[in-house]
Structure 1
């Protein structure tokens, strides 16, 4: 078992570092199955990319998310996450590089297990996010990043109480450092 872990670690560390994306995120919208509206602000940093092929990349990053709600109590939480992100690119390039992305099972710590009328069993959660993005040519290379997505936090039913926390519209704007 130790040699498998060693081989996986060497492969992970031997991959070229192609990332260094810094993204500012904001957005929100109505919480499904609730009367509350959620708003979000955050910062994401993708620090490692594995290029499986020209059309498939996997980014590894960290995320800070602040969520506030329109409910009368339990109005704010913060989440700290580590995420894997799968990026799927089309064959053709144009003014920039469009892509579809999925973040799933990003382990997260949430500062409170209540947000408005939403409840999580404890402070452990997962970040999930799905959307579209584009890397836009600026300064003769794909430096700017724009992404539109749906963001979700839940504990994936690992615990009894699992009211998901959703932000139906999130806009990420960033640069490649």
Structure 2
């Protein structure tokens, strides 16, 4: 029997709903349209309404705090991939290898995923990612360097890229003095 729980996280980019099956993250949803709608959507996808756990996901909430403070570059949380199959999963797993503060084009991720002609499919995979931020699809950009739509919220992608860029540049400046 699976235990499905969710907890809310208040982030600089808006409210986030963190949903877990047992102890693995099944979805991180930046709830642009509200937590209630995000909760209803994940309930429909999983076939069960997550049990609210306001004190849950302590480790991930701390990691998100560290990320938004510029102190964390990658996440250590078990992922439940049940909502992601086939090439979408392969493409999302390939994005994990994009270094913090760097970007890769959809075509470059397609090559990393073993399907050099599948840049559009990578774009679709990134748009459908259930693991926003934790799996860094925000680091995937168009071939011309423009950032794209990011699920209709390019300002969120811009914020995440700027955050990482500022941290990397800040470290470089500290190393020159």
- Higher helix proportion: 2
Taking structure 2 as the reference length, what is the TM-score of the superposition? 0.27
Taking structure 1 as the reference length, what is the TM-score of the superposition? 0.27
- Higher strand proportion: 1
